[in-house]
Amino acid sequence: MDRVAVVTGGSRGIGRAVALRLAQDGQAVVVAYGHAPAAADSVVTEITDKGGRALAVQADVADESAVAALFDTAERQLGGVDVVVNAAGIMVLAPLAELDLDDLDRVHRTNIRGTFVVGREAARRVRRGGAIINFSTSITRLSLPTYAAYAASKAAVEAISPILAKELRGRDVTVNAVAPGPTATDLFLDGKDDATVERMAKMNPMERLGTPEDIAEVVSSLAGPARWVNGQTIYVNGGAA
């Protein structure tokens, strides 16, 4: 029986790389997306053209009815859920003194409420031997100016994950968070000039940005063979923090 993975934010960036990597690993993949149906469909096509199984489902991760329907679809069409990767997230950058509180609410709705909503459904449905993988950020350690709203939301993810791991005692389901450093995605690159990108690339001793595939490699391990890693935040940043 194939393992089945639900990947939120699976249409673009790190989520897309994770969906493709888990499919390469032999998992059937539900590509959950918010606002990019064409991008999600392209991920599904890339997986199915290589002989894998995948489908795209629209869902607002902060909407409990939409997330329940997402899991219903995974169970109905693919037979169940073994892995949940909660890669959906948004980022708004501004100095705290200038932060628009509506933006703060929007970030927290997706990044915190979304983690609770997806995690709650995952805790109810993931089969034995499964894995739940949330996304934090290395900014929680780097403490870069303008990142307060985003870092605060991701610090909450780091608090949630080990607690859920303990709440699932006896279920043989692991819960971990992955905390990427600066990674070459549209989300990261948007609004940054070349000098800023270059400076951030050199923050780690590898002197480069991470790639989505670098992050997906770690998720692949947590989603399959790494059964003795549980309740942890794994920093994937080339040694930046």
Catalytic residue positions? 150
Positive or negative torsion for Cα 200, 201, 206, 211: positive
Radius of gyration of the chain (CA): 17
Task: Give the other-Cβ count within 10 Å of 38's Cβ.
Answer: 9
Return the structure tokens found at 107: 């970030």
Return the structure tokens found at 180: 């990427």
Helix (H, G, I), strand (E, B) or coil at 198: helix
Task: Give the other-Cβ count within 10 Å of 101's Cβ.
Answer: 8
CA-to-CA separations, 185 to 53, 88, 127, 180, 197, in angstroms, rounded: 25, 13, 32, 11, 11
Spatial contact of 165 and 175, defined as CB atoms under 8 Å apart: yes
